[in-house]
């Protein structure tokens, strides 16, 4: 029982860390957005050039940085007060993911340094970590729109995340499929973390010669 609880706690810590790592990759780089501009025909559907799209997209990412102190604004697109409020909420979510990710990294580093986690516990945590992306990815692929709605209902205030593309033009360059791809990318970080734990957990001890 103690091993199961320990494994669950380790899995949660690993999931938080890998989530923050995956979000950071999406946040710091233009990937997968650069890919999606072409793959999802964002330029064609929005009627905007790649340069204009990236300029506004990067402005959103710059605002969402935990180190940014500027007010929300877009260089060439119209937006409402509702949009400004929503991005304030998103920035708070990003902030806490990064803070919890940093705390998780410290915890995992300490546990690794003192060798406090047994192989059997790693097998449990690896299995739990593996189950999480499988369940989430399955739910997203079966009905992403509903999963997307549930996520926003849990983390954001009311219906402030529902926008009119005529008054909040940025929504035209942020199709729901892009967020699906972001979720799948983060799931790959969960998967990698799970496989890493399982690899260590099932690795055979090396026996030296006397």
**For 71-80, how does the pLDDT look when each residue is reduced to its tens digit (9 = 90+)?**
999 999 999 9
Average the pLDDT over 20-45 and give the result.
93
CA dihedral 62, 181, 172, 81 (to 10 degrees): -50
pLDDT, one tens digit per residue, over 54-98 is 999 999 999 999 999 999 999 999 999 999 999 999 999 999 999
pLDDT band for 135, please (50, 70, 90 cuts). Answer: confident
Residue range 150-161, pLDDT digits in tens: 888 888 876 778
Count the neighbouring beta carbons within 10 Å of the beta carbon of residue 43: 16
DSSP state of 114: T
Token pair belonging to 66: 């935990």
Instruction: Compute the half-sphere exposure of residue 170: CA atoms within 13 Å on the CB side of its CA.
Output: 24
Note the pLDDT of residue 206. Answer: 56
Average pLDDT, the chain: 91
């Amino acid at each position: 029982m103690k091993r199961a609880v320990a494994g669950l706690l380790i899995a949660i810590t690993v999931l938080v860390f890998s989530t923050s790592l995956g979000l950071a990759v999406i946040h710091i780089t233009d990937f997968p957005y650069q890919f999606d501009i072409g793959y999802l025909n964002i330029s064609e559907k929005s009627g905007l050039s790649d340069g204009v799209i990236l300029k506004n997209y990067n402005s959103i990412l710059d605002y969402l940085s935990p180190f940014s102190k500027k007010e929300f604004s877009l260089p060439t697109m119209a937006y409402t007060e509702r949009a400004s409020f929503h991005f304030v909420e998103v920035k708070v979510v990003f902030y806490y993911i990064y803070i919890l990710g940093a705390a998780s990294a410290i915890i995992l580093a300490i546990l690794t340094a003192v060798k406090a986690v047994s192989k059997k516990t790693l097998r449990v945590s690896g299995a739990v970590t593996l189950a999480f992306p499988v369940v989430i990815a399955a739910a997203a692929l079966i009905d992403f729109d509903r999963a997307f709605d549930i996520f926003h209902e849990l983390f954001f205030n009311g219906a402030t995340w529902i926008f009119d593309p005529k008054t909040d033009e940025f929504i035209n360059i942020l199709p729901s499929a892009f967020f699906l791809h972001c979720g799948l990318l983060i799931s790959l970080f969960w998967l990698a973390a799970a496989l890493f734990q399982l690899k260590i957990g099932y690795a055979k001890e090396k026996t030296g010669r006397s």
